[in-house]
Copies of this chain bind each other. A is one copy, B any other.
Amino acid sequence: MKTVFIIGVGLIGGSFALDIKKLHPESTIYGIDNNEAHLEEAIALKVIDKTAQFEDLKHADLVILAIPVDAAINVLPKVLDKVSDNAIVFDVGSTKEDICAKVKNHPKRRNYLAVHPIAGTEYSGPKAALLGLYNNKTNIICEVEETAFKLQEKALKLFSDLGMRIRYMNPKAHDKHIAYVSHLSHISAFMLGKTVIDKEKNERDIFDMAGSGFESTVRLAKSSPAMWTPIFKQNKTNVIETLEEYISNLNHFKKMMQDDDFEAVYNEMESTNYIKDILNGIK
């Protein structure tokens, strides 16, 4: 792992860069990014060692593609076109079906591993990169059998060194379930933020009334629209399904309140308290 390329030097790519440099101090970490300011910042923060061009990818041992999913789907084939037979390339996007379909017949398909690390914060850019971000986090790998054995092994060794738990799924199941446990949470937070901002826009001091509960529930509404819009677009069918079920549950809750059936309201909340046991399993 001597020559590592990070395409997209933001929170996710930058955090991989920091961890890899710590594990392999002898490696050189190259950054490629459309955003010149991010590249400069990444160098200044020592997130990457050097900047590079697309042509340099032919020297890569490892390429991590950490850009929004709409860009990733177009850039991945071009990366595969450039890399040598010994390079492992993985993306980190929150949708897996379209990108796997895109490179299904690419001559270098076996150099690619479809990866989704369940890690991050609501911040973005190189300054959001964190050493140790991936420790104890889940990493979902799709279509592992489509990747060359030796390159699977190389990537899995890295994930193991980073302290990640591996889960294997097919891309279709990944996109369906991640819509529930991740994408829907983002929409729920964004719309909660919008509802309160719209109502209270002329009464800024009302936010003095907000406590840590509101802050926690609305936290994801700080997330980057540039990252999330393409995710919702690529996972449109699944996300709309989750939204419909969520809206239906909210309407049912409203109906119970309108009917003064507060015993049912109580029971609904009590049965959902079971989330405690589930969350205890999340690190």
Contact = CB atoms under 8 A, between A and B. Distances in A.
Interface of A: 118-122, 137-138, 140, 165, 167, 174, 177-178, 180-182, 184-200, 203-223, 225-226, 228-230, 232-233, 236, 239-240, 242-247, 249-251, 253-254, 257-258, 260, 262, 265-276, 278-279, 281-282
A219 B216 contact: yes
Contact of A216 (B220, B225, B274): B220
A222 B276 contact: yes
B236 A257 contact: yes
A275 B213 contact: no
Given A182-B209, A217-B220, A247-B247, A242 B195 contact: yes
A210 to B, nearest CB: 4
Given A196-B184, A243-B250, A247-B247, A268 B190 contact: yes
Nearest to A279: B215
A214 B270 CA distance: 19
